[in-house]
Amino acid sequence: MTNITFTEKTPNLLIVATGNPGKLQEMQAYLADINLQLQLKPQHLEIEETGETFLANARLKASEVAKATGEWAIADDSGLAVEALDGRPGIYSARYAPTVAEQIERVLTELGDNPHRRAKFVCAITIARPDGTIALEAEGTCHGEILHSPRGNAGFGYDPIFYLPRENKTFAEMPPESKHSFSHRGQAFQILLPQMKKLWYD
């Protein structure tokens, strides 16, 4: 049995810097090992994503939410970076077109017949202390290729065009457990979890 020491700095509440209950649920699954209550940020609190990198945006969101609530906060920022498009859509992934179908269409049109189709998903996660200072952060990546047309119905966002050659599947053709084990978000949490345990329970 492992001995867990609870110190004064050990929080029991962590505010998730998102208004999206789906994201909270997904974080809950990744953090199942840690005895923490997760809560959505207050609805009125809107944070503009003005950073130029995934990490900068994650820092901004975690820090602002922590300061506004006086609690520990966690934020993530993620997106798709296509090599032949100089890293686009990148931090603009969620805003690349009005609908997800149009976002996918725009990436496919911009790539056209270009044979160079390497891309990566990136996810930055940051945890801020109640005073807004950054306590922990991690970045996870998942490398793949952009198909010429969508395949599969699972997942969300750019999943149907993001293909993993070693699995011979797109993210949208995988069950959630497989996607989570390969994904940028899964990789970032794998780095972050031991750091969280060390920070709060050592």
Residue among 64 and 76 whose Cβ is closer to ligand IMP:
76
Residue among 55 and 200 whose Cβ is closer to ligand IMP:
55
Query: Does residue 77 touch ligand IMP according to CB under 6 A?
Result: yes
Nearest residue to the partner ligand IMP, using Cβ: 157
State the Cα–Cα distance between residues 13 and 78, nearest whole angstrom. Answer: 23
- Least distance from C-beta 185 to ligand IMP, angstroms? 6
Query: Does residue 163 touch ligand IMP according to CB under 6 A?
Result: no
Residue among 88 and 129 whose Cβ is closer to ligand IMP:
88
Binding window for ligand IMP (CB under 6 A); candidates: 7-15, 125-133, 143-151, 155-163? 155-163
Query: Does residue 158 touch ligand IMP according to CB under 6 A?
Result: yes
Beta pairing, strands 13-16 & 72-82:
parallel
Residue among 160 and 200 whose Cβ is closer to ligand IMP:
160
Tally of CB atoms within 10 A around 149? 8
Chain center to CA of 101: 20
State the Cα–Cα distance between residues 12 and 4, nearest whole angstrom. Answer: 14
State the Cα–Cα distance between residues 129 and 152, nearest whole angstrom. Answer: 40
Query: Does residue 140 touch ligand IMP according to CB under 6 A?
Result: no
Q: Could you please report the per-residue DSSP string of 166-192?
A: TTTEEGGGS-HHHHHHHSHHHHHHHHH
Site residues for ligand IMP, 12-71, by CB under 6 A, read none
Q: Judged by CB under 6 A, which of 27, 74, 79, 170 binds ligand IMP?
A: 79
Q: Judged by CB under 6 A, which of 104, 159, 196, 200 binds ligand IMP?
A: 159
Beta pairing, strands 13-16 & 37-40:
parallel
Query: Does residue 93 touch ligand IMP according to CB under 6 A?
Result: yes
Whole-Å CA distances, 185 to 35, 42, 43, 125, 162: 20, 24, 24, 8, 15
Q: For ligand IMP, how many residues bind (rule: CB under 6 A)?
A: 15
Q: Catalytic amino acids?
A: 77
Inter-residue contact 62 to 126 (CB < 8 Å)? yes
Contact residues toward ligand IMP (CB under 6 A) are 76-80, 93-94, 121, 155-159, 171, 183
